[in-house]
Amino acid sequence: MKNSLIAITLCLCLGACASARDERMGQGALIGGAGGALIGGAASGTPQGAIIGGVAGAAVGAVAADMTRTRRRSHCYYSEYDQRRICRNR
pLDDT, tens digit (0-9, with 9 covering 90-100), for 42-86: 999 999 999 999 999 999 999 999 888 777 767 788 888 888 888
Tell which wins on pLDDT, 7 or 81.
81
CB 30 within 8 A of CB 60: no
In which domain, by residue range, is 47 found? 25-68
Percent of the chain with pLDDT over 90: 41
> Does some domain include residue 83?
no
Query: Does the structure show a pLDDT above 70 at 89?
Result: no
Tell which wins on pLDDT, 12 or 84.
84
> Does some domain include residue 43?
yes
Structurally, the chain folds into a number of domains equal to 1
Provide the pLDDT for residue 15.
Answer: 60
Dihedral sign from CA coordinates of 61, 63, 65, 67: negative
- Check: pTM over 0.75? Answer yes or no: no
